[in-house]
Structure 1
Amino acid sequence: MTDASSPATATAHANIALIKYWGKADDELIIPVTSSLSLTLDALYTTTTVRFGIDGDADEATLDGEVVTGKAYNRIVDLLDLVRERAGITDRAEVVSVNTVPTAAGLASSASGFAALAGAAAAAAGLELSDRELSRLARRGSGSASRSIFGGLAVWHAGTDDDSSYAEPVADPTGLSGDLAMVVLVLDAGEKSVSSREGMRRTVQTSPDYRPWVEAHAGHLASAMEAVKNGDLERLGAVAEENAAGMHGTMASAVPPVEYVTDQSRAALAAVKTLREEGLPAWATMDAGPNVKVLTRASEAERVDARLREMLAEVAPQLGTVVAYSGPGLEITRPDTREAN
């Protein structure tokens, strides 16, 4: 039995995909149809503490002080089971998470949440895993969590099986990732009506536009990687915007349609285009939710934020914004040893 007095705590940051993951080739292993490229953000993160060896015959989990139940609880237990199997233990666990990311609002809360859970659970169980192994483990909880193991720009290789589907840092010879920022436009922090998992399933199975998007996707990723290599923010922003627009196009033609884009989303997208016409570096991307993320240069982020809040004041009076910069990778702390990973 694991020593119940030896918990571990991990902090993982949300990431926003510039080149998207949308659709699974294997639902159980969470193997994606396409590879993806993301930026980890400093301002949005989850901190999770895991302690094995608690009394009782069931795991316990809380998020922001509320007991986790239902499907969310089952996903946590499934990941803990993978850790227990690998560590050769049967202990039940207590999981305590605190989230700065609105949950289920399309702001990558599952990415930071499951990356933090994977790191804390593995450490609490006494496992010494490499970053690649942690990426694969986090992927089993949420696909995008595989990328939140790493700071800055990360690429998730789709792969074909559990061993070959993992994320890793992107070679960045010009240091572009350190010059990137995102202005997150929180138009609606509520839980979305269609989960990402259901939205993916419906799109893959019914959208006539899905396969053409997948076929174009490899070119998008190659173009984005070349842009990073050359330090070309304009090219990176343009292809990110094109990739996201195509993804939402596949959702719109699903049966029934998966509609995350709202009138406020459209107003925000139009405002971003106007910013570019005004000479500011700004490109929009959206995930599974109505909120818009704006890629920009770190030195211009505050200016982009202020201008967008001004432009959207009437159409989105409840707008909240987060200015986020390139963030760090997973950090694990074992209180008994004060070691960090």
Structure 2
Amino acid sequence: MSKDYIATYQAHTNIALIKYWGKRNQDLMLPVTSSLSLTLEAFYSQTQVHFAKDYASDQFILNDQPQSKNEVQKISNFLDRFRQLKATDLKAKVTSYNHVPTAAGLASSASAFAALACACNGALELNLPQKELSIMARFGSGSASRSLFGGFVEWEKGQGDDSQSSFAHPFDEADWDIAMIALIVNQAAKPFSSRQAMQHTIESSPFYALWAEEVASDLKHIKRAIKARDIHQIGQIAEHNAMKMHATMLAANPSFTYFQAESLQAMEAVRQLRKAGLTAYFTMDAGPNVKIICPYSEVPAIQAHLSKAFDPQNIIVSRPGPQPFPIPTFKN
């Protein structure tokens, strides 16, 4: 390989309605349960990878800032999987822009690694099918497997330690009256990573023994609700699933939580929306920010209510988002 290989892709975040919380195999990034998410139009990453003989080592630039040695190593490990498929040892420069707060519970790693997987596939001319790309993206971030697709996406947990059996696939295009509102209460990076929190929960929370059984039931019922386009049922199931996930953390030893005072205020605001006759349900991931599932047709009324208590700039509306797509190459 003597020529340069370069590609740039945009991928969108996804927010799980049925949560992924815990791995059964850390090395293979295999989840304890299946999960289901909605890809969002409003939050995305744009990532370029450039493989070239002129690079003596891998480089990683995020939002115009060179990243730490540890972060570069994580990216190098990910690139190695694609280099192995291409049978090349070319080093690469990865340049990425996150149009979403990083490490704030808004799935920035999902969009970032989905975009990087697609860029590697394009740059190295591997022509991997989407199923295989989803598997590859999983090794960067588990939830990145779901950002390979638009709309509602299911990530299959797979069987045993078979790495190839765990992948994501589209479930529903979400081309109907549904939206998600992100209520940003804190954009700062969370104090501990999802990976650390998941493992601590598995090892110390007595509630975790029930988690897989609850997820299997919630997943079955929410899939029926999505096909029926029953947003009340979708919201009720998603809200309860999120609270069950956070309950496993509260029961860990020592206990921990991603809730902040503003998070609790946001959840109560959603309950008040329902009392006012609006269709709104919340979900919350490993971070303080609250996401609201609602019909797109009710967004103006919901925004009006929320703006009384929250800064309108922190109320971000999103329609369902697309699968990753190529964009023009950045100018270095």
Which secondary structure state, in structure 2, belongs to the residue aligned with residue 293 of structure 1?
A: strand
Instruction: Report the Cα distance in structure 1 between the residues aligned to 2:69 and 2:264, rounded to whole angstroms.
Output: 33
- Change over 3 Å in CA distance of 1:62–1:247 after alignment to 2: same
Q: Does 1:62 align with 2:67?
A: no
Q: TM-score, normalised by structure 1?
A: 0.92
Contact in 1 for aligned 2:105/2:286 (Cα 8 Å):
yes
Do the aligned partners of 1:34 and 1:217 also contact (CA within 8 Å) in 2? yes
1:199-242 Cα deviation digits (max 9, x unpaired): 00100111001111222110000010010111111101000000
Residue aligned with 2:131, SS: helix
Aligned to 1:290: 288
Would you say 1:162 and 2:163 are equivalent positions?
yes
**Gap runs ≥5 in structure 1:** 336-341
Match of 2:179 in 1: 181
Which residue of the partner structure matches residue 3 of structure 2?
3
Q: Residue 3 of structure 2 aligns to which amino acid in structure 1?
A: D
Counterpart of 2:20 in 1: which secondary structure? coil
Residue aligning to 1:338: none
SS in 2 for 1:10: strand
Question: How many Å separate the matches in 2 of 1:72 and 1:165?
Answer: 25
CA offset at residue 332 of structure 1? 2.7
Contact 1:15–1:147 (CA under 8 A) maintained in structure 2: yes
Alpha-carbon shift at residue 262 of structure 1 (Å): 1.0
Counterpart for residue 244 of structure 1: 242
Note the alpha carbon deviations across 1:120-160, whole angstroms, 9 max, x for none.
01211121011111111110100000000000000000113
Give CA deviations for 1:30-80 in whole Å, capped at 9, x if unaligned.
100010000000010001111101424310110110011143322211110
Return the alpha-carbon distance in structure 1 between the equivalents of residues 89 and 290 of structure 2: 42
Q: Aligned AA for 1:323?
A: V
User: 8 Å contact 2:249–2:255 — kept in the other structure?
Assistant: yes
Distance 1:42 1:188, change over 3 A: same
Which runs of structure 2 are paired with 1:17-96 in the superposition (5 Å)? 17-96=16-95
Please tell me whether the aligned partners of residues 7 and 334 of structure 1 are also in contact (alpha carbons under 8 angstroms). Answer: no
Q: What is the rounded CA distance, in whole Å, between the counterparts of 2:133 and 2:174 in structure 1?
A: 25
Distance change in 2, residues 1:39/1:293 (3 Å)? same
Letter of the 1:249 partner, please give it: A
- CA distance in structure 2 between the aligned counterparts of 1:209 and 1:119, rounded to whole angstroms: 37
1:272 aligns with one of 266, 270, 273: 270
Distance apart, 1:330 and its partner CA: 1.1
In the alignment, structure 2 segments of 5+ residues that lack a partner are none
- 3-state SS in 2 of match to 1:47: strand
CA distance in 2, matches of 1:219, 1:60: 44
Q: Distance in 1 between matches of 2:14 and 2:314?
A: 19
Residue 55 of structure 2 contacts residue 92 of structure 2 at CA under 8 Å; is this kept in 1? no
- 1:179 CA displacement: 2.0
State the Cα deviation string for residues 151-210 of structure 1 (Å, max 9, x = none). Answer: 00000001132111000000x4xx655321111011000000010010001001110011
Instruction: For residue 43 of structure 1, give the secondary structure of its aligned residue in structure 2.
Output: strand
What is the CA–CA distance in structure 2 between the aligned matches of 1:54 and 1:202, rounded to whole Å? 42
The 4+ residue runs of structure 1 with deviation greater than 3 A are 175-178
Shift of residue 2, structure 1, vs aligned partner? 5.2
Aligned length: 327
Aligned-partner residue type, residue 163 of structure 1: Q
Distance 2:250 2:241 in 1: 15
Q: Deviations over 1:296-337 (max 9, x none)?
A: 111112321231121x24xxx6971211110100113586xx
Identity across matched positions, percent: 44
Following superposition, the deviation at residue 85 of structure 1 comes to: 0.6
Over the aligned positions, Cα root-mean-square deviation in angstroms equals 1.5
Partner of 1:132: helix, strand, or coil? helix
CA distance in 2, matches of 1:166, 1:206: 28
> CA–CA distance in 2 between the matches of 1:258 and 1:117?
32
- Counterpart amino acid of 1:321? I
Question: Are the equivalent residues in 2 in contact too, given 1:42–1:326 (CA < 8 A)?
Answer: yes
Decide whether the 8 Å contact of 2:151 with 2:174 is kept in 1: no
Identify the residue that residue 105 of structure 2 maps to in structure 1.
106
In 2, Cα distance between the equivalents of 1:189 and 1:17? 19
Cα gap change, 1:2 to 1:19, in 2 (>3 Å): farther
Tell me the secondary structure at the aligned position of residue 43 of structure 2: strand
Query: 1:99-178, aligned counterparts within 5 Å?
Result: 99-160=98-159, 161-170=162-171, 172=172, 176-178=174-176
| Aligned counterpart in structure 1 of residue 197 of structure 2, from 189, 196, 199 | 199
Answering whether residue 231 of structure 2 is matched by residue 230 of structure 1, we say no
Q: 2: distance between equivalents of 1:2 and 1:236?
A: 52
Is the 1:179–1:297 contact (alpha carbons within 8 Å) kept by the matching residues of 2?
yes
Match of 1:325 in 2: 319
Amino acid at match of 2:325: E
- Residue 255 of structure 2: aligned partner: 257
